Amino acid sequence: MDFERNVILKNGNLQVTLVNDIKTDSYSIGLRQIGGKPEFKYISRELYNKLLEELLNQEEVKFKGGTND
């Protein structure tokens, strides 16, 4: 796998995604409406890490599979 994708918000027909392209060492944030064309903007590694950290710290985040050991 050459990239890591994390959906950080899904509300109705709107989806926000963080992408780490490992092959090119670049980071982006994408916004997409179902049936629409996705729009991506490149962001810094620092901003990517901060957004991902904020996501993981949210109490509302629920992970499917695995255990909480």
pLDDT of 58 reads 73
pLDDT-derived band at 62, boundaries 50, 70, 90: low
Residue 26, classified by CB atoms within 10 Å of its CB into exposed (0-12), middle (13-18) or buried (19+), is middle
Residue 16's pLDDT is what?
A: 87
Band of residue 67 on the pLDDT scale cut at 50, 70, 90: very low
Distance of CA 16 to the CA centre of its chain: 7
Instruction: Please state the domain extents for the chain.
Output: 3-57
pLDDT in tens, 2-59: 888 877 778 888 888 889 999 999 999 999 998 889 899 999 999 999 988 887 777 6
Contact 39, 16 (CB under 8 A): no
